[in-house]
Amino acid sequence: MAADFRLRFGRCLLFLMTFSFSQAFYIPGWSIKSYKDNEAIPLMVNKVYSDNTQLQYAYYDLPFVCPPTGVNHAGSSLLSGQTISLNLGEVLRGDRIAQSDIELVMGKDQECNFLCSKTVTRKDLKRAREMVKDGYVAEWIVDNLPGATSFVTVDKSKKYYAAGFKMGYRDISTVGKSRYYINNHLTIVMRYRKAPGRDGDRGGKVVVGFEVYTKSIGGQRNACPADINDVEEPFELYLRPNHTDFSVQYPESSYHPPESESDMEDGATLDIPYSYSVYWREDDKIEWAHRWDLYFVNQEEGSRIHWLAIVNSLIISGALSVIVAMILARTIRTDIKSYKEAAAEDGKMRAKRRSRPASGTRTPKLTEKTGGLLEQVGDTENDADVSSDEEPLEDVSGWKLLHGDVFRAPAYGYLLAPLVGSGMQLVFMAVGLLVLSSLGVLNPSFRGGFVSVGVGLFVFAGLFSGYFSGRVYKTFGGLNWRKNTFITATLFPGLLFALIFILNLFVWAQASSTAIPFGTLVGIIMLWLCIQLPLVYAGSWYGYVRTGAWEHPTKTTTLPRQLPAQAWYIRSPHSILLAGLIPFAVIFIELLFVFQSLWQDKSGYYYVFGFLSVVSIILILTIAEVTIVTIYIKLCSEDYNWWWHSFMVGGGSAIWVFLYCVWYYFTKLHIQGFVSSLLFFSYSFMACVVYGLLCGTVGFLTAYAFVRRIYGAIKAD
């Protein structure tokens, strides 16, 4: 069986490695759109975000940018400022996409267009300075491509993109004080090429690049500057106080004094002019199907590190495979063989003892007592029961002594069954997301698709959640399966929703687009109660009523055995931590890329789902092997309380992942503010709970199959 399993795993690993080269490739032909010369192309504005905070804001909610005019522009059916319909994933990730007033025309350059002059107060300027200080960048969208800041490698051999453009910059003066400037002029460079196929023969063109170059221009009023390339000074986000003593004490060229609270209410205003330029450049080097490749930074260097992660994972998993093979091939087979030989020898001895009275009996003396027929029969039955399931053999030791207790129902089994069901639900969701992402179905052009599909898979997987929860609950001897169904459908989803709702209160107070709208929350509740709950009920009914409990190879005795003293490394807390460290060692290199994509490079995209799939397969195999070794050691110590222990050992690496999150927060991130820190640790906690449930379920089911196999083998002929 072990050889067949390794063969299947090897084929699966080879299959997934082929997709690791694809790096979540872009599927050609999806949503391709071509434009003719002089055809208008809408430009959409989305949100602003920063790597130093978890709070995002809708672009048009900012008080210092040009507000929408509400005019209907060519190329779009929406009015300026009108938002487009978003999928669930886009809403959850904080997108707020709206039509802008900027007009783009295919192939038509525009030297300079004046957009607006925004009048701002001191409070608005203070808000702008804070956002520039936090490093906020804005995201605009053209033809589903985010506007990007372009960079070139040191040797100028390669070019790559960072999605978004900075809203301003900070300059530190000679006296060590900071001044803040806003980028109020944007140069938009659109790159295009001939459309593929017949559409290109008819003059169609496709967009393959969207670059934004920023500039801060001061001195202009309600028109473009005379020469954009020759600007005397940038536009500073500052209003001098109106007090005369400040004007005398601080001349124009010196450091600006800070604004007091009284200055904030003096009614002073400042006009910020905004303008933009548009240039179209043909680029035949970039295929439309690969236009997202520029957003994937450092692909070659990252690929080498990913291969290093896979090699590291294979070494750890291979070492564990050798240990498990030794346990299965040598130790357990030897134990089972000796157990059968002892049972056969014991049976022969007892048969001889039972046959002695039949060969000739001694007449008892008058002083001896003779037993009646019932007593003789009872003695014979007791002799026969010595080798039954209820009483072990005299020369048997270790895990074989537990055959009458190993399948005893665990304490709080009514909680373990729903946790296993929720874990299977997450396993189905994770496998579906990895497969679809590795095939390229879920790619960056499908904005919000990863989250939307993940929610859909999670809801549909309620069937698997109910089925496994019902069967495990029936195996534990549970009687009220409807109560178990309700707990399964509400325990993990309820905890998740409650935590999200509490976090939403903090984000709502910050007026951030990260906050989930009330209507979306209602929709999520309806998905939960109206779709997932019935699916969990159906799966639980089938698993509990129709399929029933798993059959065990040995019978459970009435009275439990007394547990001997356990070594320190077998005790639950120590065993969980030590065993959890091994799966963490398998994934910690890949975790670095995932964390960097999630927390540091919000403008980047995680794209190597092929590598992630391979590492995930190795992780599951490692968890299964670690659980087998740990449970075998526990059973050899004559401790039959393995149900919860197998689940905890399987999910034990979640503790190390959370500690890794804490280390990453203090050493790699520069998150500022209480709400942003709260969001980071809350999201990290939720992710570790999901990871722990998923891995814990893998460990539980692996241990259950292992225990049934070895105890079934000692009863087999």
pLDDT in tens, 616-671: 998 999 999 899 989 988 988 888 899 999 999 999 999 999 999 999 999 988 88
- Higher confidence at residue 553 or residue 603? 553
The pLDDT value recorded for residue 653 is 94
**pTM of the predicted protein model:** 0.83
**Which has the minimum average pLDDT: 181-195, 253-267, 506-520, 628-642?**
253-267
Cα separation of 82 and 59, whole Å? Answer: 12
Query: Is residue 102 helix, strand or coil?
Result: strand
H helix intervals, 476-532:
481-509, 518-526
Residue 28, pLDDT above cutoff 80? no
Residue 361: pLDDT band by 50, 70, 90 thresholds? very low
**Which has the minimum average pLDDT: 434-448, 495-509, 643-657?**
434-448
- Mean pLDDT over 221-242 rounds to 79
How many alpha carbons lie under 13 Å from residue 19 in its C-beta half-sphere?
23
- Mean pLDDT over 414-424 rounds to 96
Residue 244, pLDDT above cutoff 60? no
| DSSP3 helix / strand / coil % (the chain, rounded to 5) | 50, 15, 35
The pLDDT value recorded for residue 337 is 66
Residue 251 CB neighbour total at 10 angstroms: 7
- Mean pLDDT over 200-213 rounds to 92
- Mean pLDDT over 678-695 rounds to 95
The pLDDT value recorded for residue 365 is 45
Burial, 398: exposed, middle or buried (Cβ in 10 Å; 0-12, 13-18, 19+)? middle
The pLDDT value recorded for residue 161 is 85
Buried b (16+ CB within 10 A) or exposed e, 545-556: eeeebeeebbeb
- Higher confidence at residue 242 or residue 703? 703
Cα separation of 267 and 122, whole Å? Answer: 8
The pLDDT value recorded for residue 60 is 95
Closest residue by Cα to residue 618 from 637, 590, 641: 590
Cα separation of 62 and 573, whole Å? Answer: 50
Whole-angstrom distance between the N-terminal and C-terminal Cα of the chain?
18
Cα separation of 611 and 594, whole Å? Answer: 12
Token pair in block for residue 676? 């942003």
The pLDDT value recorded for residue 416 is 96
pLDDT, tens only, 607-618: 778 788 888 998
The pLDDT value recorded for residue 156 is 67
pLDDT, tens only, 401-410: 888 889 999 9
Closest residue by Cα to residue 703 from 622, 637, 632: 632
Asked if 656 and 609 count as a contact pair (C-beta separation under 8 A), the reply is no
- Higher confidence at residue 396 or residue 329? 329
Residue 49: pLDDT band by 50, 70, 90 thresholds? very high
Residue 128, pLDDT above cutoff 60? yes
**Which has the minimum average pLDDT: 19-33, 87-101, 205-219, 641-655?**
19-33
Torsion of CA 303, 683, 506, 514, to 10 degrees: 40
**Which has the minimum average pLDDT: 41-55, 220-234, 677-691?**
220-234
Residue 471: pLDDT band by 50, 70, 90 thresholds? very high
The pLDDT value recorded for residue 17 is 44
Give the mean pLDDT of the chain: 82
Residue 395, pLDDT above cutoff 60? no
- Mean pLDDT over 526-537 rounds to 95
Residue 595, pLDDT above cutoff 90? no
Which H helix or E strand runs over 180?
Answer: strand 178-182
Cα separation of 110 and 187, whole Å? Answer: 10
Residue 698, pLDDT above cutoff 90? yes
Cα 600 to chain center, whole Å? 15
- Mean pLDDT over 178-185 rounds to 91
Residue 495: pLDDT band by 50, 70, 90 thresholds? very high
The pLDDT value recorded for residue 711 is 85
**Which has the minimum average pLDDT: 36-45, 350-359, 589-598?**
350-359
pLDDT, tens only, 306-333: 677 788 778 887 887 787 777 767 666 6
The pLDDT value recorded for residue 142 is 94
Cα separation of 675 and 654, whole Å? Answer: 24
The pairing of strands 269-282 and 185-194 is parallel
The pLDDT value recorded for residue 248 is 47
